[in-house]
Structure 1
Amino acid sequence: MAEWSWIVYTVLEVLIAVACCLGNVLVVCAVCVGIRDSLREPTFCFLVSLAVADSLVGVAAVPLAVLLDGWVSLTPDLCLLLSCVVLVLTQASVLSLLAIAVDRYLRLHTPLRYKALATQKHTWLAVSVCWLLSCLLGFTPLFGWNNYSCLPSDSTNTSSFPTVPLPCTFLSGISLPFMVYFNFLGCIMAPLLVMMLLYARIFWSLQGRLKESCPQAQASLLREKRLACSLALVLILFTICWIPLHLMNCLLLFYGPQAITQGTLYTGRLHIYIYIYREREREREGDLTAIFLFPGILLSHANSAVNPVVYAYRIPKIQQAYTQVWRRFSMRLNCCHGEKQIQQSRTGSQANHTATCRSGQKTTP
């Protein structure tokens, strides 16, 4: 890829990272500060978990995507560890979305048991389980399912990885079969299918209840339907943003690099490193297309920046919370500005008073 194209890619990634951090930090502040007793509601706890994962995309995943571009040479174990961080954050987003879908389903179909199940303790336990599972699933390549496990290791080193620094790229350590069979089909597609079924049941049930309920109960059901639509929209956007990248991985695995055109790929200084097992040495295959998918990576990262906008336009409570947070921020700015003006006026009056006293002392015989 040309130098200017890589610069454009880097600039876009930086903008996405800033948007992820600012937008999702605002979501966390809005939910925790602006909405009273919001953390007692499971849905908002899971939204906070999703916002934390999205903000970490801006803090860690986007910088790592730029770093794991073949520009730095790292030991295989460190390169693999950094690559797995991206997988952990993606899995945390998926499991948070799944927890939200399960929560809305239980709230609608088991209202009596829901109050006993959806306690604050159980909710935070579910959040902890989501992150623990994300770490276990995301760090799976560290336990052997990676490209480096086939490389010769140093005989003096007990580690299974070689210690020689290599140019670090994502797929130089993470194997394509792992990304397709385990990460895509098992860890992403399976939860997405479950969530789609849950939301289908939710909307089917809400539609039936709206027809049968009295006018007094319809208002509550309409609020429930609006919230379900908003959360389903978040799920749809996640699917739209992440599926193309995984489909390109499938094409790379089943048909090879020639299946993907140059215009679709993020190409350039990235190369696929092929490890020849018989010769026990690494060779660069410079004529193949690059391993990172330029539009797919940007689209997947942009998903984390879009979610706060969806919350702002679709969820009334978060809209009100945004307004409250902005008002508090504006009031603090005004207070700080007013204190500075008062301090400056006091300093000026003291200086004038001192000058007057000195001039009076000089004129006194």
Structure 2
Amino acid sequence: MSANGNTISSLDIAYIVLEVVIALASLSGNVLVVWAVKLNKALRDTTFYLIVSLAVADIAVGAVAIPIAILISLKVKMHFYCCLFACCLLCILTQNSILSLLAIAIDRYLRVKIPVKCGQLGTLETTIKCEQFSCILKSLPSSYFRRYRAVMTHRRAWVAVGVCWLVPTILGLLPMLGWHRGDSLGAAAERNSSSSNSEGRYKACSFPAVMSMDYVVYFNFFGLILAPLLLMLGLYVLVFTTIKKQLHNSQGVCKASRLQKELKLANALALVLALFALCWLPLPIMNSVGFFCPTCHVSKAILYCGILLSHANSAMNPVVYAFKIKKFRVTFMRIWHHYYTGSEWNESTFHSNTLQSQRADKSDSV
């Protein structure tokens, strides 16, 4: 088979099929997340705003980034700046997904750290430890335990969502402003633009042909992938350290039960970190190897595996962030029973089940 004069091998076909499968999984899973938040009012919380933002970014990966990646793998002929813009879109969407993951990690740290931090207890003159009197402290005014709500308001959550979209858009479009390989394909396109042969303006589009490797390696990998990964690692270490310390000093059934739920959540965050590193590190490492070692060769099959892993993370996120939450699971089951098995939508039962799961997972909202 061939496309635009380029032969399509069996490896290319296998890559395209896997990309389509990942795109369908990413679209279906993340649309279900957004759908659940729309139907269930109990999910309309500041934390879930960030999850919806991540889900929308992953929907865009399945609907936009993966089709573009397929076109680039086929080396479809297009104008230099069209190819460059397509590659910039890939950077924007992947950077957005990474920043959304980082925002959720920060939110997780705040939810674990702030509610268990003790301070002055209003008119009480004696400072007591939460670890020793967790059950007694429940009788104190609820405003004392609203530190997280005071920090992570709805307005600030929307600001965080806006930052997760605005910053990648600006940084991802930097190549369009001149940080690209204009000395190769771009210069040739400009020279041929004045000729009568319009075919000279179009070249086989590929990521290395238009993107500056300084931008890809130093700026994108070191600055926008590796740095957030290290920050997330530090946050998760703090989360585990805090929970471990509280479990060691905890007294009382209610305190131990709450900490066990927080530990369960921390284990989920460790899984998120592992999946993030597993999916996102291989491809930029390959780019770095090619950049620092021009004589080294990365095979096409290995390169495709790295691309597939990075896209597969968008399909994994609904499993990690949604199916670990009872409120989501209850909503998913209601959607399944109503829209796929034809059962009636019992609104009162739905809200009753949601409230029960909300009480059961009060400290395990994400």
The TM-score range, normalised by the shorter chain, is: 0.7 to 0.9
Q: Distance in 2 between matches of 1:234 and 1:299?
A: 14
Q: Distance in 2 between matches of 1:86 and 1:243?
A: 16
Task: Please tell me whether residue 239 in structure 1 is matched to residue 245 in structure 2.
Answer: no
Aligned to 1:27: 33
Letter in 2 for 1:320: V
Q: Distance in 2 between matches of 1:194 and 1:128?
A: 20
Aligned to 2:165: 131
Aligned to 1:250: 288
| C-alpha contact 1:39 1:120 (8 A) present in aligned 2 | no
Task: Please tell me whether residue 175 in structure 1 is matched to residue 212 in structure 2.
Answer: yes
Computing the radius of gyration from Cα coordinates, the structure with the larger value is 1
Q: 2:24 aligns with which of 14, 18, 22?
A: 18
Mapping 1:103-182, distance limit 5 Å: 103-111=107-115, 112-148=146-182, 151-152=186-187, 153=190, 164-182=201-219
Q: 2:43 aligns with which of 38, 43, 49?
A: 38
Q: Distance in 2 between matches of 1:13 and 1:130?
A: 25
The structure showing larger relative contact order (alpha-carbon pairs under 8 Å, at least 6 residues apart) is 2
Paired-residue identity, %: 42
More displaced stretch, 178-187 vs 226-235: 226-235
TM-score (structure 1 length as normaliser): 0.76
Change (3 A) 1:318 1:232: farther
Change (3 A) 1:129 1:149: farther
Aligned to 2:129: none
Q: Distance in 1 between matches of 2:258 and 2:22?
A: 37
Task: Please tell me whether residue 222 in structure 1 is matched to residue 260 in structure 2.
Answer: yes
Q: Distance in 1 between matches of 2:163 and 2:247?
A: 35
Q: Shift of the alpha carbon at 1:57?
A: 1.0
Aligned to 1:356: none
Deviation sequence 1:42-63 (CA, Å, 0-9, x none):
3222111111111111101110
More displaced stretch, 103-112 vs 186-195: 103-112
Change (3 A) 1:125 1:149: farther
| C-alpha contact 1:88 1:135 (8 A) present in aligned 2 | yes
- Consecutive unaligned residues of structure 2, counting only runs of 5 or more, are 1-6, 116-145, 195-199, 345-366
Q: Distance in 1 between matches of 2:111 and 2:343?
A: 43
Q: 1:328 aligns with which of 338, 351, 359?
A: 338
Root-mean-square deviation (CA, aligned residues, Å) is: 2.4
Q: Shift of the alpha carbon at 1:145?
A: 1.1
Aligned to 1:186: 223
Letter in 2 for 1:249: N
Q: Distance in 2 between matches of 1:91 and 1:135?
A: 9
Aligned to 1:57: 61
